[in-house]
């Protein structure tokens, strides 16, 4: 069990934790949700929070390897970086190639309308910036019928991607977890998205995975955060956090049920805390249920090797 990992860029298939802090409020030392699975130098981006473009540069990944973006759900902390990814990726050297954006219903329309207010800016750089024609993204709505636990999403030379529906509160009609199967090695990585533990669909799609990247929440901080808001907003926030997110104390049991070899925390809520704090909560819970896999509480830009 460890707090932090570093891995030489480009040395192997890996997960780069671009942004690990959840919620729409911007903090001075936080990066919003964005996770990069790197396979054979191709970058598969799961969620695209506000800080994603800069974090890609800081991580040494850049934009040229990105072909696909997978959105877990339409909360803005998971999507607000999309305009910046497309615009600044276009002007990068080497540039962002044409991108497919996959996600719950509404993703296709979002991709079509994403840059509707930036026509003037795009036209100016097309004519005078030396960047060539802007390539609009393609959006794809993933439909998960109620009677199907897992649906295929896409497949290329490197990975096969499947999705399942997870519960993230009654107001979120469609929230997804994704399973990536790496063809060259057979390794399986599952990204939970935002969900409440224990989710039966997540348990099924994560069965036997090599790495389970799961959102985490410190429930002991919720009352304090809610008390800082006026009534009834504090009560509304408290209800959402308790019913729609996963306590860190439950996650070792989730990983045990899934037989996950590694458990990686992400989407820290409701406040940012050092990795040592999350591990201090998780380790006794793991010992109590008998989970013996590795547990990681990464910082932004940490790397998890596959």
Question: What confidence tens digit (pLDDT) does each residue in 179-210 have?
Answer: 999 999 999 999 999 999 999 999 999 999 99
pLDDT of residue 22: 97
Distance of CA 284 to the CA centre of its chain: 26
pLDDT of residue 7: 43
Sheet of strand 34-39, all strands in order from the earlier edge strand to the far edge: 138-141, 100-103, 66-70, 42-46, 34-39, 14-19, 303-305
Q: Which helix (H) or strand (E) holds 102?
A: strand 100-103
pLDDT of residue 11: 47
Give the whole-angstrom CA distance, residue 126 versus residue 208: 48
Give the whole-angstrom CA distance, residue 146 versus residue 96: 35
Q: Which CATH class is domain 14-305?
A: alpha beta
Give the whole-angstrom CA distance, residue 206 versus residue 181: 11
Give the whole-angstrom CA distance, residue 156 versus residue 175: 24
Closest CA to 250 of 216, 276, 274: 216
Give the whole-angstrom CA distance, residue 168 versus residue 197: 10
Tens of pLDDT, residue by residue over 23-77, are 999 999 899 999 999 999 999 999 999 999 999 999 999 999 999 999 999 999 9
Closest CA to 134 of 194, 187, 86: 86
| Predicted model pTM | 0.95
Closest CA to 211 of 237, 234, 192, 230: 192
Residue pLDDT tens, the chain, 306 long:
444 444 444 448 999 999 999 999 999 989 999 999 999 999 999 999 999 999 999 999 999 999 999 999 999 999 999 999 999 999 999 999 999 999 999 999 999 999 999 999 999 999 988 899 999 999 999 999 877 889 999 999 999 999 999 999 999 999 999 999 999 999 999 999 999 999 999 999 999 999 999 999 999 999 999 999 999 999 999 999 999 999 999 999 999 999 999 999 999 999 999 999 999 999 999 999 999 999 999 999 999 999
Residue 104 near residue 74, CB atoms below 8 Å: yes
Residue 75 DSSP one-character state: -
pLDDT of residue 96: 98
């Amino acid at each position: 069990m460890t707090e932090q990992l570093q891995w030489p860029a480009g040395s192997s298939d890996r997960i780069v934790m671009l942004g690990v802090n959840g919620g729409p409020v911007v903090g001075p030392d936080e990066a919003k949700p964005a996770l990069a699975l790197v396979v054979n130098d191709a970058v598969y981006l799961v969620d695209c929070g506000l800080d994603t473009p800069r974090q890609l540069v800081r991580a040494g990944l850049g934009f040229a390897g990105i072909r696909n973006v997978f959105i877990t759900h339409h909360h803005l902390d998971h999507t607000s970086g999309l305009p910046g990814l497309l615009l600044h990726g276009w002007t990068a050297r080497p540039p962002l190639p044409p991108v497919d954006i996959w996600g719950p219903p509404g993703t296709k329309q979002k991709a079509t309308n994403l840059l509707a207010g930036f026509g003037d800016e795009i036209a100016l750089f097309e004519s005078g910036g030396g960047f060539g024609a802007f390539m609009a993204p393609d959006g794809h709505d993933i439909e998960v019928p109620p009677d199907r636990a897992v649906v295929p999403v896409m497949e290329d030379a490197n990975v096969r991607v499947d999705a399942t529906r997870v519960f993230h509160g009654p107001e979120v009609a469609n929230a997804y977890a994704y399973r990536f199967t790496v063809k060259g090695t057979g390794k399986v990585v599952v990204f939970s998205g935002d969900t409440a533990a224990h989710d039966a669909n997540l348990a099924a799609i994560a069965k036997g995975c090599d790495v389970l990247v799961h959102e985490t929440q410190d429930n002991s901080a919720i009352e304090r955060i809610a008390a800082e808001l006026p009534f009834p907003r504090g009560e509304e926030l408290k209800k959402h956090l308790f019913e729609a997110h996963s306590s860190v104390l439950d996650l070792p049991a989730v990983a045990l049920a899934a037989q996950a070899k590694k458990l990686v925390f992400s989407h820290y809520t409701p406040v940012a805390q050092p990795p040592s704090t999350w591990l201090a909560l998780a380790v006794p819970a793991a010992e109590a249920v008998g989970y013996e896999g590795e547990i990681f509480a990464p910082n932004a830009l940490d790397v998890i090797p596959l």
